[in-house]
């Protein structure tokens, strides 16, 4: 199960050390030094044990191939984390690690949100599972993202967090990193957006576009993909990171949290419906097929990605791959030909 086409690891830092250093760097000096009520939970040993999936609620045998793929993904991630772990202990706050995880208590599900990997429809499904809606098809985009109907794991007390992490079925759905990146750019910068244009667009155009006209500087509209990548790769970004293009390794901490189920956007429907069987969801509940927004747009495929990458220099393409290096490795994605 080698990483097909991946670049040479020998000239890079230990990938796991990169994760650890990255996580620690996110803590303030005060957080690193203080002894808060979180102290008993700050030592996280890596990786946690790989527990077998509970398959007692699966009703038929049609999921055999999906299940086989799932077991391979789980084993691959576990082995990756184990290989680059060396039994190191990372001291960080448990609450910080679980801030992107949504909770569904009825079916005991924890879902880590990875934007641009089916997260809108997953939130719809969680709302139906929780009895907040009768059908996923009747829930609007704004209701999903701004309605605050779902609780996140970091909203519980420490006992509640710890109990759920140890007893609930934890899932994460991921996507080819470059496809996810291009999808995020298209969604946020190629359509009218009252947040991303003025907050990110204006800052990006101001720093990376020479001789920008007054209209572009005023509105932040019309950011080019090359300018977006210059922002992404800049160690002194004029505006911070965003969850839509943040690395999965920093959103969901796959080597720190023992995810029971690893779904992929590339096999979203079959993975999601198998997962719903595993957790005992109602038989009539199926994962939605519809595109959440900009439904007339072509989906961001490998071919679409290739067209966007043509706008970059060879060095920029290499650096962008390097930026998502861990995501490629952790989830066994084939590295792009850059």
The Cα 52–Cα 40 span in angstroms is 27
pLDDT surpasses 50 at 21: no
Domain residue extents for the chain: 63-331
Pick left, alpha or beta for residue 31 (phi over 0 → left; psi -120 to 50 → alpha; otherwise beta): alpha
pLDDT surpasses 80 at 53: yes
Confidence at residue 142, expressed as pLDDT on a 0 to 100 scale: 73
Residue 79 — very low, low, confident or very high, per pLDDT cuts 50/70/90? very high
pLDDT surpasses 70 at 195: yes
- pLDDT tens digits, residue range 274-317? 999 999 999 899 998 876 666 668 889 999 999 999 999 999 99
pTM as predicted: 0.83
- pLDDT tens digits, residue range 228-270? 999 999 999 999 999 999 999 999 999 999 999 999 999 999 9
């Amino acid at each position: 199960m080698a990483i097909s086409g991946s670049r040479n690891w020998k000239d890079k830092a230990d990938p796991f050390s990169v994760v650890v250093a990255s996580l620690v760097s996110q803590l303030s000096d005060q957080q690193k030094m203080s002894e808060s009520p979180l102290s008993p939970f700050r030592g996280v040993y890596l990786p946690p044990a790989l527990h077998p999936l509970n398959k007692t609620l699966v009703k038929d045998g049609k999921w055999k191939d999906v299940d086989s793929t799932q077991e391979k993904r789980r084993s691959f991630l576990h082995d990756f984390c184990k290989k680059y772990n060396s039994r190191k202990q990372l001291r960080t706050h448990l609450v910080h690690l679980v801030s992107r995880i949504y909770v569904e208590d009825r079916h005991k599900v924890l879902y880590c949100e990875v934007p641009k990997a089916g997260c809108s429809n997953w939130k719809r499904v969680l709302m139906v599972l929780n009895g907040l809606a009768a059908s996923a098809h009747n829930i609007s985009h704004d209701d999903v993202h701004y309605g605050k109907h779902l609780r996140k794991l970091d909203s519980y007390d420490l006992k509640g967090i710890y109990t759920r992490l140890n007893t609930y079925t934890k899932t994460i759905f991921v996507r080819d990193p470059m496809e996810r990146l291009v999808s995020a750019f298209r969604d946020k910068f190629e359509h009218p957006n009252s947040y991303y244009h003025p907050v990110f667009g204006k800052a990006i155009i101001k720093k990376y576009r020479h001789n920008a006209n007054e209209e572009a500087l005023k509105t932040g509209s019309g950011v080019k993909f090359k300018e977006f990548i210059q922002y992404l790769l800049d160690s002194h970004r004029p505006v911070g990171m965003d969850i839509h293009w943040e690395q999965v390794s920093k959103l969901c901490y796959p080597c720190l949290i023992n995810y029971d189920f690893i779904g992929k956007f590339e096999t979203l429907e079959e993975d999601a419906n198998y997962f719903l069987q595993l957790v005992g969801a109602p038989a009539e509940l199926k994962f939605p097929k519809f595109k959440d927004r900009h439904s007339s747009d072509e989906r961001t495929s490998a071919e679409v990605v290739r067209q966007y990458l043509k706008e970059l220099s060879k060095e920029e393409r290499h650096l962008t791959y390097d930026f998502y290096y861990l995501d490629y490795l952790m989830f066994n994605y084939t590295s792009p030909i850059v």
